[in-house]
């Protein structure tokens, strides 16, 4: 089978490896044939060569793990030891080993769900990040009539903007250094701010502070503090971005004096959330076609990741198809 391996920063190598079989599955696992994958912002540090926390990330120049770093995947079930999945099912969800860049992938069946057959695989794979955003939004207070600010208007931030608007937010502010004036309104953004979060914060008046601030950037410390400083009294901050550092210093004085709530966390109940993502996509039929803006063949994985690393106003989600 084909598989990709990061052998140096910014450098994939395509390999031929023995294919796994049904006999290799443990209870609860599923064997998939690759149909599509999505590139997530959390994949990019690995592509750049940063050393992650996975047990197998022991390479000298890069992770050197087969199939790494992709975790958003859609595929066809070839064999299953999970009761919810049968041979021939088309499913979407998590490549639980962060090894989705392979022709055949063994994954945890609890992180997979069937998707609407009317969806092409390159759009279906976007249900995985949508499921994550929907789960995070469930953890927020009632958004009806609220002002929500989303720091970071990449593929996750724009999904958040769309979902919180659909959940009843009266006003959505999207903050990003990239020019999202064309893309943002299509995802429910009322005020598009082209600026870094610290510059936006420095011009934020007391009467315009958001009730809820979502940090959808990650991989840095400063933006979380910007979110905390921006939130209105009694507000909520949700840190969705991936933390690359173990410790993030925050202002507990602001947290205390402003009666703020700080939340974070990974996506649980994954099969339920994937099903809800499918329902949400049916209720908003224009979302996934607008969201997946670029599609690459599996032979062009290198080019797909290189584009993902370049800020481009018209790019939202990149999918790779088999």
Examine residue 196 and state whether it is found in any structural domain, yes or no: yes
Report the pLDDT value the prediction gives residue 242, as an integer from 0 to 100. 86
Q: Which domain holds residue 283?
A: 2-128+268-321
Residue 136: pLDDT band by 50, 70, 90 thresholds? very high
Both tokens assigned to 71: 């975790």
Strand ranges (DSSP E) for the chain?
A: 2-8, 11-16, 29-38, 72-80, 90-94, 104-108, 112-114, 147-151, 171-176, 191-194, 212-215, 236-239, 261-264, 292-297, 317-321
Examine residue 278 and state whether it is found in any structural domain, yes or no: yes
Q: Are residues 250 and 208 part of one domain?
A: yes
Q: Are residues 276 and 170 part of one domain?
A: no
pLDDT tens digits for range 139-185? 999 999 999 999 999 999 999 999 999 999 999 999 999 999 999 99
Report the pLDDT value the prediction gives residue 201, as an integer from 0 to 100. 97
Examine residue 64 and state whether it is found in any structural domain, yes or no: yes
Chain centroid to CA 235: how far? 24
Domain count for the chain:
2
Is the CB of residue 156 less than 8 Å from the CB of residue 144? no
Q: Are residues 88 and 72 part of one domain?
A: yes
Q: Are residues 105 and 40 part of one domain?
A: yes
pLDDT tens digits for range 235-283? 999 999 888 888 999 999 999 999 999 999 999 999 999 999 999 999 9
Q: Are residues 109 and 69 part of one domain?
A: yes
Examine residue 112 and state whether it is found in any structural domain, yes or no: yes
pLDDT tens digits for range 182-224? 999 999 999 999 999 999 999 999 889 999 999 999 988 999 9
CATH number, domain of 215, equals: 3.40.50.720
Is the CB of residue 183 less than 8 Å from the CB of residue 194? no
- Does pTM top 0.85 for this prediction? yes
Q: Are residues 13 and 109 part of one domain?
A: yes
Q: Are residues 294 and 245 part of one domain?
A: no
Would you give the DSSP letter of residue 20? P
Examine residue 309 and state whether it is found in any structural domain, yes or no: yes
Q: How far is 234 from 263, CA to CA, in rounded Å? A: 13
Examine residue 133 and state whether it is found in any structural domain, yes or no: no
Examine residue 205 and state whether it is found in any structural domain, yes or no: yes
Average pLDDT (109-126) is: 97
């Amino acid at each position: 089978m084909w598989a990709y391996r990061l052998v140096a920063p910014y450098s994939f190598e395509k390999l031929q490896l023995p294919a796994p079989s049904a006999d290799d599955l443990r209870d609860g696992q599923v064997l998939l044939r690759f149909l599509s994958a999505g590139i997530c912002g959390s994949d990019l540090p690995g592509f750049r060569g940063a050393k992650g926390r996975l047990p197998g990330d022991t390479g000298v120049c890069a992770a050197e793990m087969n199939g790494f770093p992709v975790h958003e995947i859609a595929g066809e079930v070839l064999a299953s030891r999970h009761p919810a999945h049968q041979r021939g099912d088309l499913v979407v969800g998590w490549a639980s080993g962060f090894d989705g860049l392979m022709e055949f992938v063994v994954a945890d069946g609890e992180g997979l769900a069937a998707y609407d057959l009317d969806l092409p695989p390159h759009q279906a794979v976007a249900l995985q990040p949508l499921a994550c955003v929907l789960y995070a939004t469930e953890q927020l207070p009632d958004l009806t009539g609220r002002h929500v600010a989303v720091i970071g208007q990449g593929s996750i931030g724009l999904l958040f903007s769309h979902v919180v608007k659909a959940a009843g937010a009266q006003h959505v502010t999207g903050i990003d250094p990239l020019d999202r004036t064309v893309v943002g309104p299509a995802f429910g953004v009322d005020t598009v701010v082209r600026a870094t979060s610290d510059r936006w914060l420095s011009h934020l008046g007391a009467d315009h502070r958001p009730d809820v601030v979502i940090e959808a950037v990650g991989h840095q410390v400063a933006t979380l503090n910007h979110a905390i400083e921006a939130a209105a009294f009694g507000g909520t901050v949700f840190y969705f971005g991936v933390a690359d550092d173990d410790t993030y210093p925050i202002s507990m004085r602001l947290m205390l004096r402003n009666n703020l709530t700080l939340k974070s966390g990974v996506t649980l109940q994954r099969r339920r959330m994937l099903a809800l993502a499918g329902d949400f996509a049916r209720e908003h039929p224009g979302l996934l076609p607008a969201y997946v803006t670029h599609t690459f063949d599996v032979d062009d994985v290198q080019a797909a990741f290189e584009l993902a690393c370049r800020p481009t106003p018209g790019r939202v989600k990149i999918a790779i198809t088999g």
